[in-house]
Amino acid sequence: MSQKFFVPKYITIEDRLEGLITIRQLFALLIAFLISYFSFKIHTLIGVPVVILSFGLAVLGTFWQVNGKPFLNVLPSALKSFLNQEKYIWKRIEKTEYKEIVVPEVEEKEYYPEFIEPRKKRLSEIPKNVEIEISAPEITSTFKEKIKIELDKPLSLQKEEFKKLGHSHEVNPHNPYRLFPYIKFTQRAKI
């Protein structure tokens, strides 16, 4: 089931009162009037600049538009760009004129590599009789000598020490990969 939605039209148009003034503009002018009224109640010298500022901002904010947007919507971004330390200056790039380069046409010549004849083997250079000397290998009697190596500790003690050193610190001191720790796997639960 497809649903139909109606797109509202003229959503930027505000309701107008009598004449050219809208409700928002009237509200801004009333606030400016109240600010100027209370500033005149305080003191006349304070009231004059406050009246100029309040009515100036109210008129600018409600009636003046910059690129189709109200001035009060543009004012924060304008202040941010003026107070920002990074300034972007747009420079018009001058058009560069390029000259046409005329390349002369080169005539193509057909190039054929020189034919190289294969070298002819001369049978007269090859010796006809080849003498080969074959000598009998010398037979010598070889035997392995038994060498006794004296150990400081018996092998069983060495194995136990190795297990203690290697597994108590999770590092094998005799292993070239001793800097890598052993991986511990979790035990399965017995069901």
What is the predicted pLDDT for the residue at 32? 93
Q: pLDDT digit string (tens) for 67-79?
A: 888 887 888 888 8
**Is residue 80 classed as helix, strand or coil in its secondary structure?**
helix
Average pLDDT for 170-187: 58
How many Cβ atoms from other residues are within 10 Å of residue 70's Cβ? Answer: 16
DSSP-H helix ranges across 64-173: 71-83, 155-168
Q: What is the pLDDT of residue 190?
A: 66
Whole-prediction pTM: 0.37
Mean pLDDT of 86-114: 80
The answer to whether 51 and 31 have CB atoms below 8 angstroms apart is no
**Which has the higher per-residue pLDDT, 65 or 12?**
65
CA distance 86 to 82: 9
pLDDT at 172: 54
Per the structure block, which two tokens stand in for 139?
């037979």
Which pLDDT score is estimated for 30?
93
**The two three-digit tokens of residue 178, written as one number:** 């001793």
pLDDT at 81 (0 to 100):
84
- pLDDT band for 31, please (50, 70, 90 cuts): very high
Main-chain phi, psi angles of 106, to 5 degrees: -105, 135
- Identify the weakest region by mean pLDDT among 2-16, 65-79, 92-106, 167-181: 167-181
CB atoms within 10 A of CB 47: 18
C-alpha dist (Å) from residue 48 to 35, 57, 74, 175: 11, 14, 27, 90
Average pLDDT over the chain, rounded to whole? 76
The confidence score (pLDDT) of residue 34 equals: 93
Regarding predicted confidence, which is higher, 2 or 109? 109
